[in-house]
Structure formats: structure tokens, C-alpha cells
Structure 1
Amino acid sequence: MRNNRAMSLAPHRIAVLALDQVVGLDLGTPAQVFGTARTADFEQLYTVGVCTPGGRPVRSTAGFQVHPDHGLELIEAADTVIVAGIHGGSALTDGTLDPDVAAALRAAHDRGARIMSICTGAFVLAAAGLLDGRRATTHWAYASLFRRLHPDVDLDPEVLFIDDGVLTSAGVAAGIDLCLHVIRTDHGSEVANRAARRCVVPPWRDGGQAQYIERPVPRTAETGTAATREWARQRLHEPVALRDLAAHARMSVRTFTRHFRSETGLSPAQWLLQQRTEHARLLLETTDLTVDQVARHAGFGTTAALRQHFHHRLGVAPATYRRTFRHTF
């Protein structure tokens, strides 16, 4: 979790790197999502600029050319660098990269800038050597090619995003999830939720990319667990056992567990813990409830259990989290 006290003094500077055959949605996502992240007084928290090698125009996959305002020098002053996805170029074909681009990305990483990619932008980061030995993700359809080109990267194609020092997202719209995760990390759940509402997207999507991978037999709505997940969200303050979830879905425990993991990428217990933690974060930011009361309202039962899970997932104690995000602005 980043300390955003300093960030509140001036907008955080983001450079989006667009290479030839840039994916149109990936290019626009950072400006849209980060541009809606504002304080309660509507002050801007991030500025977003687009750059290309030499400041030259590049082609997009959406039938238009990108005429940027900046060259790679924008990366030199950026606090965060985001590489948008691509549908062509040497990074995808043979795992190589323009030396100037690689040098700019490595220099930004070395000086402590946050480095991110959306979709196949992970190929660019890998070609620059920034993902070796790290966990990373990319669009599931490119997983085999990625593994072949970059065997030293620990690729997980079943998640929506990974934050392992260098941040990577899964395919296309997962870039929105990653950007919201960054806002949540920098400024807390309330600001991230407000940005999500302005973008008309959920602040947190259940599960991972696994649920979108093509499978031979499509799942039908009649056998889904979405209604039961919503039922459970309304009861986070109560004990919710696996058998209760299965009974609500009118399935056996074994069948329910199989469908649940297939749809969300998580076990029911993992999903419940994720939901309880996110609810606790919001309560800590937006209410005057004591930590003990937050623990009960979020379904952890005891303060000790809340502290344990909070520290495991976020690396801080609940009280520390509240001090950081409750009165940021």
C-alpha cells in the first residue's frame, strides 16, 4: 500500500506508452479511469499523457492513428508508466523491442516509477526484461505465445491482474480492473468506488480471467451461482457456511463448489474472505465504527481475525489503514 499523503500535494503523473498497432480500448482506459479519480472536493488526483517513440504517430487497431503530444521523454518524469496492449510488432512476433523503448522503461523502473501493462502490453515489459522472475498475466488467448517467448516469467493467465512489483492485467477490459486497483491502493476504496461509479463499471469483479476462457461446453444461467453470491453479499455480517450457499443455490455442496470455482476462479471460502475484507476497508474509510465493530459488521467476528486477514491481504493493520485513508483529503 502506497502512502498517498505526498500524492495529495500534486496530481500523480501517468505516462501511457503507445506502440504501433496499439489496442484502442487499452490506450483510452487509463485516461478515462484515472481521470475520474477525484477528491471529495473534485480535485484531480492524476494527470495522464500519451507518448510514442520519437513522438511519432502510431496506428491503432481501431482504424485511427494516434498523434501524441509527447515522445519517450514523458516517461522520464512520470510517476507511473503504463504500456497499452498491442496487436503486432516485434514484441509479439519474436520477443524483441526497440532499444530506446526498452531503455526508457528500464530507466523508469530503476528510479522507482510504478510500471504497468494492459493486456498484451505485458509482452513489451517482458521484452524489456522487467518481468523475469516475476508473476505476470496477459490476455488468455496469448498465453501460449507468451510462455514460448518468455519462459523466465511466471505467467498466470487465469487472473484479472497481478501486482508483483510490476503490475500486469489480463485482456482488454481487465485494464479497468487494474486501474481501479491502483486507485484503491493509492487512495482507498471510497475514491476507487466513486471512480468506478463514474465509469459505470463494478468497483470489483468477482474471480479472474479463467471465467472468460473459451471452453467446449458453455455454462447456462440456470446452473450459475450469481444469485447466491449476491445473497451472500447481503449477509456478510452473518456466519455463512458452504452448506448454506449450496442450499440457496439448490445444489449439492460438491456441485456448487465446482460451479462456483468455474465461474469466479475462487473457492467459496476465498471469495467470502475477499468480500469481507473489501467491506471492512470501506467501513474503516467511511464510518466511525470501532475496529471491533468493523470486525463484527464485516463478518470476521473478532478484532484478532480482522487484523490477521487484513495484514495478510494488505500488509497493514486495520487501524493503520484507517489513519492512511480516512482523512486523506
Structure 2
Amino acid sequence: MTGADVIGPRMDTVRIDDFHFFATIGEEMNLTAAARSMGMSVSAVSRRLTDLENRLGVRLIHRTSRQMVMTAEGLLFLEGSRRIVHEAEVLRADVANSVDSERGTLVICGTLGFGRTHLSELVADFHRAHPNIEVHLELSADPFDLENSRFDMLVGVGAAKDSQLVYRRLLRNRRVLCASPDYLERRGAPHSIHELRDHDCLILSEHEPDFNLWKFELDGVITPIRVRGPLRCNDGDTVTRWAVQGHGIAMRSVWNVRPYLETGQLVPVLADVPTIRSDIYLAFPNTELYPLRAQRFTEFLQREIPKRVKSPDDFFGFS
């Protein structure tokens, strides 16, 4: 007779706590002692044991007023219960140790543009400093399916979008207007945001529902301006290259165009007019159950991103 012959047909009725219950009875082999160990009455232990036997469809223990004797099925079930209880305790300890140690795997989602330009290198630098932490980086140009995705944290650019996540700002950020010196020499520089309507504006058709509406913050008031242009793309790097090549005026984040601003390949346009905020942020599902490896990566980003990515006030004097 095998274990499957004895208890297999009714095992779907057994709960995980039944294994701990029966392992305790097997350890004591006395209902009074078992009841004392579990903080239950003797009658409650007896009723639960009978209920377990009924659900399994077998007698586990022969009970008399003087003694308890395990049946063959009872010994089989006791052996399995002890093994399951032990494995559950080992698993609990492993999970607890994983949360409190700098080991394990981090799944990080990131927006495609910032991920390619900065986050990918930051992740590699982090792994170099913490070799026992494995990092899975998922980059996407599309909005993340947060409900159906498993991730530990999200690094993004823009406004907080999901109230179920906890957000932490890593760096203040605004987009800036810029164009090549060649374009500005040919077409002249606009002197107000309203003159943008007369220029070739390079449109990024990424996440905003109305791509042609550029927004500015004038004296604390958001002012939209509808622009037009002959070139439009859903890839930010392509739009930046078009601007460098002299095809028009682009609105891009400082972290994207910083090298071109520093070399003079791109020149700020309307530098005294701030666009709306588009901060770099970190988002995660839960702050209470936050493994140590995730804390270490958070600390790393808070320390390294300001070094690597300049904020707009480094160029334009507004934050």
C-alpha cells in the first residue's frame, strides 16, 4: 500500500495547519500534553483530530482511555507532516533572510529613453558594487501594465500616475526648448512662446494625448501653446538627433540633451521660460515590506543620479 493509496483521494481536504497539528500530537502522543502545547482544551484537540480523520477518510490513531496507538496510516501521515512542517519553517527562514540580506533579485522597470541614457549604466554600476544582487531591467516606451507585471520598483520621468504606488522623487526635472545654431541662424530665435507657432517644431508623439500642445509655466500658471512641424516621431532620441541636425526646435529633458548643450551643438531657446515639471521619480508597491536589496538600490539612485544627471537650474536658473 502506498501513500497515495492511503491519503491521496482525500488530501484536497487537508489544510496546511493540519500538518502542524498532527505533528504536535505525534510529538507528545498524549492528548492532554498536546492540548497544553497548542493552548487548546483536550476536548477541542479530540474533536479536531476526529474531524481530520473524517476528512482523510482513515483512522490515524487508536484511542482508549489509557493510551494512543498510531495506525499504519497515522505513521505515514505523521512522517509527511513532520517533513512538511520542517520544509515550511526552512522556507520561512529563507524568505526572512532574503528580505534582510543584500542578496536576491531585483526587477526594475524603466522608461525607454531615460533607461537607455542613464538607468542602464546605473544598474551596471550598482551590480558592480553589490555583486550578490541580480538585477533584471525591463525598459519600455509604452505605459507599464502595473496590475499584471511583477516588479520591485519603477524608475520613470513625468508625473506620478498610479495612486497604488509609493513615489519618491529622485531629481527635479523640466524639459527645455533647444535648437541647433544653424537652425536659429536660418530662422531666427523666437522671443516669446507665441512665436513658436511660426517655427518648425519637432514633435515627440510619445505618451501625451495631444502631441502638438506644448505646456509652459508662466508665473505659476500653466500655459499651453499649439505648435506645428514637418517632423514627428515616437522616439525621443530621434527627435533629439533631428534638432542637432538643424531640422527645428525640440522640447527635450535636460538629461537627454545635456551633452549637446555643453558642446554647443544645441542652444537653449526661450531659456527664461520654464516648461512644466517632469521629475525623475522612483515608485514601488509597498514601503512596509521593502527588502534590503531594494533599499540599497534606492540609496544608490538617490546618491548617484544627482551626480550623473544635471537638473535644469544648472543651465537655466529655475528648478
TM-score by length of 1: 0.20
- Please identify which structure carries the higher strand content: 2
Q: Which has the higher contact order (CA 8 A, sep 6+)?
A: 2
TM-score by length of 2: 0.20
**Higher Rg of the two aligned structures:** 2
